[in-house]
Chain A
Amino acid sequence: MADVTDDEGLNWVAAIMGWLVPGLGHMWIGHVQRGIFAMVGILGLFLGGVLIGGVGVVDRKDNHLWFMAQAGAGPIAFAADWVNTAWVKSGSVGEMLDAPTPMVPRSTGAKVSSLRSVTSVHEIAILYCSMAGLMNVVVLLDALVRPRYQPPIARPAPVMP
């Protein structure tokens, strides 16, 4: 797949699509393989983080600074936060336990879900999701400025005299 440089300006539609679905921005401008690779990397990181630490690692209220990075991964981060708030932190799934003092989240009082991850596993799972968001910002900025894919022009075979 060849890259062609030209002056198309900023492709805001590709950038927005890249935020909505990681990798979709590159597919929109014709770089389908790059888009698929970006999607695999970013969604793999995000889903890997949620798989390792549970959906509780995406928390807009209690980890708002980390969430700013995670939000770069797109609506999937907001969906994970919604699931965490509606199911895990509310106690609909799992049990609500008395939390040790250092673990008490600011917005939920003295109870914490039994499904919440702890220690280094919790931290590295947050890092997975945050890196997914930050890398998606890098990828969508690339989609913003990358020229639309143009297939290489087939040259006619030279005619022998």
Chain B
Amino acid sequence: MTGLPAIAWIPFLEPIRGIGNAWWLLSIPLIVGISIAYKSIRAGSVERFWGQVAWFSLRVMLIMIALTIGLYVLVRIVLPALPV
């Protein structure tokens, strides 16, 4: 912008800086956001809403970690061990 070069970061117009190597950490708030939207309609009762969101988010993260480990073992250990 002609008048704003001195401003370090313009929120919402300019990408956030310094997270290029840790982009995968952004999947955590993504999962939490999806869980909030999902549980807003699927929770039987909204009395313990945030507890249900936390539990659902935790389960999704654990499943993603398990899938990551499983794919790592498959690609790095199992497939190279197969006879060509």
Contacts and interface: CB of A to CB of B under 8 A. Distances in A.
Interface string B37-68: 11111001111010000000000000000000
User: Interface residues of B toward A: which range?
Assistant: 20 to 34
Contacts of A44: 33, 36
B30 A121 contact: no
Contacts, number: 116
Contacts of A53: 15-16
Interface in A118-139: 118-122, 124-125, 127-128, 131-132, 135-136, 138-139
The secondary structure that dominates the A interface is: helix
Contacts of B16: 51-53, 121
Interface of B: 1, 4, 10-16, 19-20, 23-24, 26-27, 29-30, 33-41, 44-47, 49
Interface of A: 1, 3, 23, 26, 33-35, 37-38, 40-42, 44-45, 47-48, 50-56, 83, 87-88, 92-94, 115-122, 124-125, 127-128, 131-132, 135-136, 138-139, 142, 146
